[in-house]
Amino acid sequence: MENVRPADMQRIRTTELAEEFIEQAVAECRKQIGDKKVLLALSGGVDSSVVAKLLIKAIGKQLVCIHVNHGLMRKGESDQVIEVFKENLGSNLIYVDATERFLTKLEGVSDPEQKRKIIGSEFIDVFAEEASKLNGISYLAQGTIYPDITESKGIKSHHNVGGLPKELNFTLVEPIRLLYKDEVRMVGRALGLPEEMVSRQPFPGPGLGVRCVGAITRDRLAAVRESDAILREEFAKAGLQGKVWQYFTIIPDFKSTGIKDGARSFEWPVVIRAVNTRDAVTATIEEIDWAVLAKITDRITHEVPGVNRVLYDLTPKPTGTIEWE
Interface residue list for ligand XMP (CB under 6 A): 116, 155, 159-161, 202, 204-206, 210, 246, 280, 317, 321-323
Least gap, CB of 144 to ligand XMP (angstroms): 13
Cβ nearer to ligand XMP, comparing 17 with 285: 285
Least gap, CB of 280 to ligand XMP (angstroms): 4
Least gap, CB of 195 to ligand XMP (angstroms): 20
**Cα–Cα distance, 178 to 158 (Å, whole number):** 21
**Cα–Cα distance, 47 to 155 (Å, whole number):** 17
**Cα–Cα distance, 73 to 209 (Å, whole number):** 9
Least gap, CB of 320 to ligand XMP (angstroms): 8
Cβ nearer to ligand XMP, comparing 252 with 258: 252
DSSP string, 65-91: EEEEE-S-PPTTHHHHHIIIIIIIT--
Contacts of 163 (CB under 8 A, 6+ apart): 157
Which amino acid is residue 176, in one-letter code?
I
Q: Say if residue 319 is preceded by a cis peptide, omega within 30 of 0.
A: yes
Cβ nearer to ligand XMP, comparing 29 with 221: 221
- Of 232, 211, 214, the residue nearest 222 (C-alpha): 211
Least gap, CB of 46 to ligand XMP (angstroms): 12
Contact assessment for residue 225 and residue 74, using Cβ atoms and an 8 Å cutoff: yes
Least gap, CB of 203 to ligand XMP (angstroms): 7
Contact assessment for residue 274 and residue 298, using Cβ atoms and an 8 Å cutoff: no
Cβ nearer to ligand XMP, comparing 135 with 319: 319
Cβ nearer to ligand XMP, comparing 132 with 152: 152
Cβ nearer to ligand XMP, comparing 37 with 211: 211
